[in-house]
Amino acid sequence: MKLQRILLLLGTSITIASLGISGCTTNTRDFEADAQTPTVTSPTTTAQRRPDVPYVPTPQPVVDAMLQLAQVNSNDVIYDLGSGDGRIPITAAQRYGARGVGIDINPERVQEANANLQKSGVGNRIEFRQQDLFQTDLSNASVVTLYLLPDVNLKLRPKLLQELRPGTRIVSHAFDMGEWKPQQVQQVNGSTIYLWVVPENVPQNLRQ
């Protein structure tokens, strides 16, 4: 089951039990690991706190549609904020020759993404960092992908609009950005995906 359905069932309270019942690919053990404060440290660690969102991967057909919606190409630098097993930036490099950065706060996810990257054949184009997405400098991105939660998208919105260059595309799986209306919305295999393009002049009401 997707994050969205979990939310509908339980409001904004996502419990370990809900993920277990839902049959999503994250089992209870994984989520417990996600929910704990990470204990592994590395030179790139900038955060040691609980993830804001549990790990639920985007199905591959939805990944493909997100990259198409953003019109990713070989000039792009794609940032996946909360990158999980790394499938979005890895696919962007394999299909479109893009470069990319995956950010995940959970060291297990970064390890998994790096293992997938090793097998992918695009290891020279992608980098995974164990970081808090709220502490990450986004200014190099030309495309940003998200599969977070509604309140996390809203909290992130001012940072996106402040740090990203005008023309940067943002694609979100399942969740919108409140008052910031998307330029396009698509349905893919029962999922909704949203596209925004960062404007030259950001309206005052979207800055907070």
Q: Give residues in contact with ligand SAM (CB under 6 A).
A: 3, 34, 51-53, 55-58, 80, 82-84, 87-88, 103-106, 109, 132-134, 147, 173
Angle at 130 between CA 127 and CA 133, to 5 degrees: 95
Closest contact distance (angstroms) between CB of 203 and ligand SAM is: 26
| Residue 95 structure tokens | 């299909």
Nearer to ligand SAM, 57 or 203 (CB): 57
Nearer to ligand SAM, 137 or 200 (CB): 137
Closest contact distance (angstroms) between CB of 62 and ligand SAM is: 8
Nearer to ligand SAM, 161 or 193 (CB): 193
Closest contact distance (angstroms) between CB of 116 and ligand SAM is: 11
**108 vs 26: CA distance, rounded Å:** 13
Nearer to ligand SAM, 101 or 198 (CB): 101
Nearer to ligand SAM, 70 or 88 (CB): 88
Strand partners, 188: 191
**117 vs 9: CA distance, rounded Å:** 35
**Residue nearest to ligand SAM as judged by C-beta position:** 82
The CA–CA distances, whole Å, from 165 to 84, 161, 162 equal 25, 8, 8
* Pairing relationship of beta strands 143-146 and 99-104 according to DSSP bridges: unpaired
Closest contact distance (angstroms) between CB of 108 and ligand SAM is: 8
The residue written with tokens 């690919």 in the block is 25
Closest contact distance (angstroms) between CB of 93 and ligand SAM is: 15
Angle at 127 between CA 177 and CA 97, to 5 degrees: 80
| Residue 94 structure tokens | 């394999």
